[in-house]
A and B are shown apart, each in its own frame.
Chain A
């Protein structure tokens, strides 16, 4: 009996280990990971140099981990193990709480950002103001709540310091902008939790529309009234930035919010200088899973929308992915709308860009978790 059990055990272990390379060789290949939202590793290149400096084997390890047979199932198993067997409150840095999937926040050990950090961030916006002043442009900083602060009350008490830190930093930053003569509109005044996704860190198009209305008011231009839009949710499975990270394994689900409109405005759209189809939403054609890249096609370095109405002002929006839902509407009230994402745009600095294109309004849309972040859209010079 013992021998039989031993043989069975050895055979099963050998089978599992052998299944990895054999299955990987014969399994269908893919080059992207939907759940991780990234491109999978390429096979390593074998040269004398890469062999001797260790790069080849390092690359082989990465490639193998990325392409191993049943990889998604293995990652899901890890998530299930941590969530349901170990009972961890957060898995893969995602904390399910009160109907939302929240990011685990890094503990903060101060009440808010330091004066120096805030001053450095304001200095960048002030430099942009100076560039705009040279031709009479105006800057509007539209701060929007990040998921951490809009759902602050959903965090457990032991993590509550971090949302409070971001709120306090936001107030300090707003005051410093005001002191520098820059208009700041705080999204906490008009955005609410219902406008945000439960499985993604962004707001949907109702949130985008709300920001658009505020933007138009600040720019003294007419917003297209809300009755022209009909907001609804697509039935397709929706993989946002949060449920993707935990393989959509919780009961917390959401659908992508989109809109239809009877307001017909022809426009030309250019992405990174290339003319593209004149649309703002990429609606799926069937029941395929969808992601927030469906707003404006996701984060693009430079987008230009021309409506050929020279009587209206020109607009430049810059910021992180929170701009995408706003861009879906902003062009409706401006002659020319440019959108830059400085995480990807590298041709020139924002200050130089402004001097070249001279937009009447320059609108920064950033979430309050990033006000003092000087990387990407935090640097204008």
Chain B
């Protein structure tokens, strides 16, 4: 080995380079406070490695960006770890930069002759912030999309060149393919190249002036290798452990953990939880204090002035008083940012709308993963189409839009928002289930059923329920419920029990507690397939036994005598019945006189109507991950 190394050294001079770099003098001995620069280099190296790993599978376009990140996160071998490290190390870099800067300023390491190196460091700070801003968009999820929209709109108010900057950044006047390709070029190309170049200059100038020791007689001088290198290495290890721990603690390991991936960006689906990454929250909050045209002060002038003050630190710090002023200024800046961050978080914590938006975003991001897994992949148009046609996500939104001005769903508008106004129609959460049927019989006047509606509250059903429903025995109630279930054939409930026959009898004849002239069929008509001559063939009719024939005739006679003032209960609460109700509730066979609901036949599209119905009827989800999804949706 040795002869080879000697041969190599004679041709390259690498030994001298190694000695030169490792034998750097450390005045006053190795110290922990010098480790920050090295941890930053380490963090950047991690970002390069994981970034290259991500690059292998990432595809920047508005129909492939989210989709490829989904693949990395959920299907690629250890992809979640790759993303997780990249995401959390980026945040660690911000913290490390703050620590590095505090150390440099407190130790006065920015003073002559190290001014230029201090400025190089400030430029590096800007580059790293630029990297995190551009990286936030690349997954093209709702969060990244809306945060970037806000950020670029703010760039657009820069005096004179704002509009042009904005258009160059987003690649036109609207957000799409070119926004991604451009941000990706910045994130993976231009900014890293600049960072390497400025980092090289930073290290070179640092070596030229040597380490600035605040206390050169702290301990005897030593060399960089191995005393300081050991401390640096341990610090880097600590950073790595911290990053992994934070990832584990906040998000967990595995494809469901690591870095977050929201629902795919959808320009038409407003996202009420749009917030920047936590280290930009202070700027976000700051903007709230600048009304109207004064915004440019909050967004550009004041941050620009603060940056200028940082650049002037080497001159201000020439005197001891100036140096102290610099330290006070830096800590003031950090405290101010911390305060604003706290204020932003406090405002969001107090805002139920924000909590709902975050909840909805999480729900959609879990649901889309489930949909992709169920379908076995994403269609070439992108993942958004899957969400747009999903009744689990769209059902409550359609309900909120079209139904919630009168109806409620578990007391809310379907999306968890409680209205200030009282409902004027039923709460449809349990619509058509056994619970609902039982309630309609025994307490129809309750506000969950007819009690909320001014017309139905004092209507016949509420009155009947009060007079007779409350007198029915539990066995009678459950028999009628099973009878109704046998007619609706609802798939979200267990099949009807055998008591349905007793229920049919009650429906027709009443019981000891409910006289025949007040039983169900006296108001409600109901066609039963087994008694429906029209739907039977001649042969089938002829082969009917005497017993069934008698029952059939009794049913027909009762139907003939029925006043029909109540809605027709044929297949009540089935998909077909609900569709008729939504289309035209004022129809003869439904509520011709007491209806207060608009007809949605024309104003809801066929797909929207189907999604609303599927959701209201609790249609089971497809896919093997059904259980977990249901707990998510109904939590």
A and B from one complex: no
Q: Which residues of A contact B (CB under 8 A)?
A: none
B residues lining the A interface (CB < 8 Å)? none
